[in-house]
Amino acid sequence: MIPLLGVCLLLGGCQERTDVADAYDVYATSDTYQLTESSTEKSISLLGQDLCVGGTENTAAADGIDTDYAQSAAVFSVQDEEITYAQNIYQRMYPASTTKILTAYLALKYGNLDDVLTVSSDAVNTLMSGSSICGLKPGDQLTLDQALYGLMLCSGNDAANVIAEYISGSTDKFAELMNKEAQALGATQSHFVNPHGLPDDNHYTTAYDLYLIFNAAIKDDRFVNYISTKKYTTSYTDASGAQVNQVWVNTNGYLKGTYDMPENVTVIGGKTGTTEAAGSCLVLYSESQDKKPYISIVLKGNSKKELYTLMTELLTNYSN
């Protein structure tokens, strides 16, 4: 008998939703989530191996932690494989642009950074007015590497669509790949319908699932390079062959200097996300003073200011 994954995580809903139960089944094994190459006992590794696995209870917050600043938050000690802080981490939430973590992960897994991508009309014109873009136009030609900077620094929804079409042929097909890969990483309480995170009732995740996805992504040094870059200057060609010059600045408030880094903590990088439905979101990769890596997540922050205030409090108290 394959050992059982000894945790059953009873979830709440996506904000007010209450239709989720037994997200990570106590009887499920790695085979269930397609995490093994073979069903033989020698090759089987449990879903929780080398991962932070915790119970269902929220952490009793230390004094000074403003838990009411966000609906969901977590701190994960990557090296110790420990959840040091948990606040509604299994509750379904809207991820906004933190969705792009998975988009970048798949681009690096299946794409070639030197490949040249041509921006389609659909990639640009199907986006809702006012959504976050990096300024791509139909007919522009740029490399996947450049598109990933546009995706991860200034959170370009246009870049997300271009990458999705390049990898899978369409954003719908890419969403299918996103869901398959998320399941394979154990993120079983997530469902994605687009590569950028614009609001949709069927587009959701949890803080714990985002940890699983982000933890896989940061194992690739190229991904870490994108999320840690403060500013990127580049040029590519438009439909007429003329040169387009771009300067993309990271939306991360710590890297921009808008907010001070927590004392004795080095913020490496991460991904922001903001929509009315999702609130203010941030997934962060940092190191403590003794160089221990941490992943910290805040979802549905009341505002950017309160998001960063809470994140600083969490890192100060739970990553040192």
Catalytic residue from among 30, 72, 120, 155: 155
Phi, psi angles (nearest 5°) of residue 157: -65, -30
Mean pLDDT of 290-315: 98
pLDDT confidence of residue 49: 65
Residue list, annotated binding site for substrate: 271
Question: The dihedral of CA 4, 10, 14, 17: what is its sign?
Answer: positive
Active site residue 42: no
pLDDT confidence of residue 15: 37
Confidence of residue 35 (pLDDT cuts 50, 70, 90): very low
Catalytic residue from among 72, 100, 280, 286: 100
CATH classification code of 103-250: 3.40.710.10
Active site residue 155: yes
Rounded to two decimals, what is the model's pTM? Answer: 0.86
pLDDT confidence of residue 48: 54
pLDDT confidence of residue 54: 79
| Contacting residues for 63 by C-beta, under 8 A, at least 6 apart | none
> Any alpha helices (H) in the chain, and if so which ranges?
100-110, 121-125, 144-152, 157-168, 171-184, 207-217, 221-228, 253-256, 304-318
Q: What is the pLDDT of residues 174-232, one digit of tens each?
A: 999 999 999 999 999 999 999 999 999 999 999 999 999 999 999 999 999 999 999 99
Domain ranges (residues) in the chain: 67-95+254-318, 103-250
Residue list, annotated binding site: 271
pLDDT confidence of residue 101: 99
Catalytic residue from among 72, 97, 120, 190: 97
Active site residue 97: yes
